[in-house]
Chains A and B, each alone.
Chain A
Amino acid sequence: MIKIKTLTGFLWALLVILAIPAVFMSNNKLAEKLVHASGMKISSVFTGGEINETIENKGYKTIINKPVFACLAGETKKGFIQVEWRAKDKLPSAIEEKIDINGDKIPEFTIIFDTASKKATIINDTGTAAYIIKIYTLKTGFAVRAGFKKLTLNSGGFEL
């Protein structure tokens, strides 16, 4: 006579053996459900943040993302902003982009990008200590991440 414990053990093993093909067969659907149900997203550290503004220029467009202050809990003081230039025809040899981080219509710094040498420089317009973190070479253009330090927070957002 097989003991209940033994029988339970075999049943458990059989369930596991059945679960393996079942899960593999529905893996894509389960993955979508997992992502949807958990609200999973890729960290803005990698995506570069949400798009804040798209500016259509002659021959290219500028995409300015929202500033990212990602950390494990809350926000970090050091953040970055990502700016992309995507060519529709051809990028100009030099691009000058004024960046207004806090939306007060006063640009905090200006990124000057030389598309031929792929070099970027920053002019800090309001005493902001912004700096270039990385330049990305894309299929149809370039992206630049500029880092800066958030000094104080006010009720309207952040102040540099």
Chain B
Amino acid sequence: MKKLLTSALIIVPAFVLSLLFISKGKMPQGGLSLISFSAAVIFFNSMFFMMIYTKKTDRYRSALFITTAFFFVISFIGHMIEERGSMSFTDDALLNCQIPFCHIVTTMVLIPFAFTKTIIFPGSLTQGYAAVGAMIIIWLLSVFTIGRAWCGWACFFGGLDEGFSKILNKPVIKHISPSFKYLPVAVLLLVVISSAYLLQPTYCSWICPFKAVTEYEPITSTASIIKTIIFLSLFIILVIILPILTKKRTQCAFFCPFGAMQSASNYISPFEIKIDVNKCCGCGLCITNCPAASISKENLKAGAPALTCLRCGKCVDICPKGAAAFHIKGVEAGYDELCRVLSLYAYFIFMAAFLGGSFTDGLHKILNFFATGSFI
């Protein structure tokens, strides 16, 4: 009973903040809005409560992360259909710069911006849905706060390959060459250089797998047919098939240029995962179960996962000796639970603030579909 009450008390500030962010400061009007809002608040906070109460992180984070990604896709596609009548963008949206800006584009706009003070993306700077300025502020915030936990907690795409990675109980492909961990860096370099040279966001234009579930160029030319084949193939291979076969987040771990860039922010974030070398029994469970392939034998010896760690908490949950733990830089041993709660607080608040609205909107669109036969 005491544990239950303590856990409930711990989540009170997070509950208040999530209420504020999910409602966007206004009480929802109408029956379906109220239902979707209440469901979002209850679901987010019950998952967070379970993380605190059970001292297990990944199971509840994963449920929240996957569900949020699903509702985000529904919300985004619904939004595009509402605005344009289709998932493909129109010439009007292109020329009037109304394309929503996604965090992955950040990797491609920084160098051209440094040189030309212009953003090489047809989005709105401050107005409308997913404006450039607002997304850059959120990205900067993530760099200085949660680091690459963005990919484990806040990325609205990451939940898709995580969802598929949970389908099988055991991986079919058990060995992945360690050299694959350099692939995202190569993709990052390729898209940064090509985007700066061509002044076009080349990843978005040619190889982003998530165009399959967001928006894409209308198929009107040979180039657009080739682009469509590429992004659909990459989505099927990297987001569906390989995660199912490997039980890893293959798109995030081996292809995403944003993930590669965001890894560097793990240096800046105060939160980290630490592995106690003295407690580690060398069973290798964390190595085989890490969804981002961020732990190797060398990492175990070094006492920390690789810089690519998503802070999902899988290794912390699975370690039979309690050697892996959430940690705050500078804090001495003996404060494991406080470090964990503070880390989870930062990640959860970020997630609720960033994705709570999409969750509610996606759920609302689904409920609307059942009530009226239309998503919109």
Asked if residues A31 and B17 are in contact (CB atoms below 8 Å), the reply is: no
Least Cβ distance of A55 to chain B in Å?
19
B37 at the interface (CB under 8 A from A): no
Option from B118, B136, B144 in Cβ contact (under 8 Å) with A42: B118
A35 adjacent to B330 (CB under 8 Å): no
Measured CB to CB, the nearest residue on chain A to B199 is: A45
Quote the shortest CB–CB distance from A138 to chain B (angstroms): 5
User: With A and B bound together, what is the CA distance between A48 and B197 in angstroms?
Assistant: 18
Q: B116: CB under 8 A from chain A? A: yes
Question: Which one of B20, B200, B350 has the highest number of Cβ atoms from chain A below 10 Å of its Cβ?
Answer: B350
A contact residues around B354 at 8 Å (CB): 24
Q: Is the CB of A32 within 8 A of B116?
A: no
Nearest B residue (CB) for A47: B97
B91, B332, B335: which has the most chain A beta carbons within 10 Å?
Answer: B91
8 A Cβ contacts from B3-17 to A: 17
- Which of B20, B97, B116, B133 touches A34 (beta carbons < 8 Å)? B133
Q: A152 near B: Cβ within 8 Å?
A: no
A residues within 8 A CB of B94? Answer: 46, 136
User: Which one of A27, A38, A73 contacts B138 once the chains associate, using CB atoms below 8 Å?
Assistant: A27
The docked-state distance in angstroms from the alpha carbon of A158 to that of B332 is 66
Task: Give the chain B neighbours of A43 by CB distance below 8 A.
Answer: 112, 116, 118-121, 199
Report whether B122 and A42 are in contact in the complex, using a CB–CB cutoff of 8 Å: yes
Is residue B251 within 8 Å, beta carbon to beta carbon, of the partner chain? no
B334 to chain A, nearest CB (A): 9
Main secondary structure of the interface of B (DSSP, over half): helix
Q: Which residues of A contact B23 (CB under 8 A)?
A: none
Cβ-closest chain B residue relative to A23: B141
Report Cα–Cα, A47/B180, bound state, in Å: 38
- Return chain B residues, CB-CB under 8 Å to A47: 95, 97, 122
Is B91 a contact partner of A13 (Cβ separation < 8 A)? no
Q: Say yes or no: A39-B346 contact (C-beta < 8 A), given A72-B112, A136-B91.
A: no
Within 8 A of B (CB), among A33-54: 34-35, 38-48
Residues of chain A lying within 8 A (CB to CB) of residue B332: 3, 5-6
Cross-chain contact A10 with B331 (CB below 8 angstroms): yes
Residues of B near A137 (CB, < 8 A) are: 91
Q: List chain B residues, Cβ under 8 A from A31.
A: 125-126, 131, 133-134, 136-137
Report if B113 contacts A (CB, 8 A).
yes
Distance of B208 from chain A, by nearest CB (Å): 17
Q: Tell me whether A99 is interfacial, beta carbon within 8 Å.
A: no
Q: How far is the CA of A24 from the CA of B24 in the complex (A)?
A: 10
Pick from A5, A34, A44, A73: contact of B118, CB under 8 Å = A44
In this assembly, does A94 line the interface, its C-beta being within 8 Å of a C-beta of chain B?
no
How long is the Cα–Cα vector from A136 to B90 in the complex, in angstroms? Answer: 9
Shortest distance from the beta carbon of B192 to any chain A beta carbon, whole Å: 12
Given A9-B330, A13-B328, A27 contacting B137 (CB threshold 8 A): yes
Find the B residue at minimum CB distance from A140: B92
A14: contacting residue among B113, B116, B199, B342, CB under 8 A: B342
Q: Does the CB pair B271–A41 fall under 8 Å?
A: no
Q: Is B254 close to A, CB under 8 A?
A: no
Q: With A34-B137, A42-B97, A46-B94 as known contacts, state yes or no: A17 contacts B342, CB within 8 Å.
A: yes
Q: Decide if A6 touches B353 in the complex (CB within 8 Å).
A: no
Question: Which residues from A are CB-within-8-Å of B136?
Answer: 31, 34
Complex Cα distance, B339 from A6, in Å, reads 11
Selected A-B contacts with CB under 8 Å, 28 pairs: A6-B330, A8-B330, A10-B338, A10-B342, A12-B328, A12-B330, A13-B339, A13-B342, A14-B342, A16-B346, A17-B346, A19-B144, A19-B145, A20-B145, A20-B353, A24-B138, A28-B134, A35-B125, A40-B117, A41-B117, A42-B123, A42-B125, A46-B120, A72-B196, A72-B197, A73-B115, A138-B92, A138-B95
* Residues in B lying within 8 Å of A, measured CB to CB: 17, 20-21, 91-92, 94-95, 97, 111-113, 115-123, 125-126, 131-134, 136-138, 141, 144-146, 196-197, 199-200, 269-271, 328-332, 335, 338-339, 342-343, 345-346, 349-350, 353-354
Q: Which 10 A-B pairs have the closest CB atoms?
A: A31-B133, A9-B330, A136-B91, A43-B118, A46-B122, A9-B331, A24-B353, A31-B134, A16-B145, A12-B270
Extra contacts besides A27-B138, A35-B126, A46-B121 (19): CB < 8 Å: A3-B332, A5-B331, A6-B332, A9-B331, A13-B346, A16-B144, A20-B145, A20-B146, A21-B349, A24-B353, A31-B137, A39-B117, A40-B119, A41-B119, A42-B119, A45-B120, A46-B97, A70-B116, A143-B95
